[in-house]
Amino acid sequence: MAKKKPAANKPPTRNEVYREIAAKTGVTRKDVVAVCDALNHTMVKAVKQHGTFNYMGLLKLTLVKKPAVAGGKLVRNPFTGEMVKQKSRPASRTVRVRPLKAIKDMR
């Protein structure tokens, strides 16, 4: 049987990233995993407490609070043009990720 060629445009897996960082820094893979886990914990904690986290000039995580929407209001369906009742939605929180200068300049 012929061996399959790896996909050319496939992004690296988490384990491949850990191995590459360990090889470039000379640190064990286990230590790299511990550092990445600590970074993830710090990012989540900062976004929960302060609502924002700036990751070393690469990207910015921002907590976006979306208010509740009361239902029953008539809104126009943009595809058909008919008026339909809007469904009610509870308030929610999402995280927005924005690229910063270092990522924007990669072009």
Residue extents of the structural domains in the chain = 12-50, 51-107
pTM of this structure: 0.71
Q: Which residues pair with 93 in a beta bridge?
A: 65
| Residues forming a β-bridge with 66 | 92
At a CB cut-off of 8 Å and minimum separation 6, what does 3 contact?
none
Could you give the C-alpha distances from 58 to 16, 31, 55, 63, 82, in angstroms and in order? 21, 23, 6, 17, 44
What would the two tokens of residue 107 be?
């072009």
Reading the chain (107 residues) residue by residue, the pLDDT tens digits are: 556 665 568 999 999 999 999 999 999 999 999 999 999 999 999 999 999 999 998 999 999 999 998 888 899 999 999 999 999 999 999 999 999 998 888 87
With H, G, I as helix, E, B as strand and everything else as coil, classify residue 99: strand
HSE of 55, CA atoms in CB hemisphere, 13 A: 17
